[in-house]
Amino acid sequence: MEIIKTPSPNFNDRKGCSQPSLIIVHYTGTKTADEAAAYYLNTTTDPNAGPISPHYMIDADGTLFQFVDEDKRAWHAGVSAWKGETDINSHSIGIELVNEGEYADYPPFADAQIDMLVTLCRAIQARYDIPAADVIGHDDIAPDRKKDPGPSFPWTEFRKRLKDI
């Protein structure tokens, strides 16, 4: 699996845990990978942008980018909760899929993108013993605030392909 490393300055140490126990799937809400990366690298011209970062981003063609090392706390979950845990950033790996989502009426995700997501998730699951049930969407951890990965994300097929630990 080829990974293009593009280090983001937006991270810190994990708090209260030694390794991740969740994988959170997002969409970027952007047209291109370059547009999304500008947010993660603090180079966007968007005056409303705050410091954010995922661990990984997957472009529509399956190209995989890494912005934050897995042993660090990326800033992707925001105000969220899952199974009583409220510091989701410390307990998760965040993966962004380049897709406009709600801003373009939820376009479908590309097959190459989903294939890479499955490959990446299976590798992360194996490293940290994360069950398939804990590979979830941003909308699962922040249902009143977030809509990603959205209704066009192929959850049924995706879950069939995950490794069940």
Q: Which residues are catalytic?
A: 96
Spatial contact of 68 and 11, defined as CB atoms under 8 Å apart = yes
**Which residues, including other chains, have CB under 8 Å from residue 11's CB and lie 6 or more apart?**
53, 68, 69, 72, 73, 74, 75
Q: What is the distance in angstroms between the CA of the first residue and the CA of the last residue of the chain?
A: 21
Max CA-CA distance within the chain? 43
Angle at 39 between CA 3 and CA 106, to 5 degrees: 85
Strands (E), 64-129: 64-66, 72-74, 92-97
Spatial contact of 124 and 160, defined as CB atoms under 8 Å apart = no
Spatial contact of 108 and 57, defined as CB atoms under 8 Å apart = no
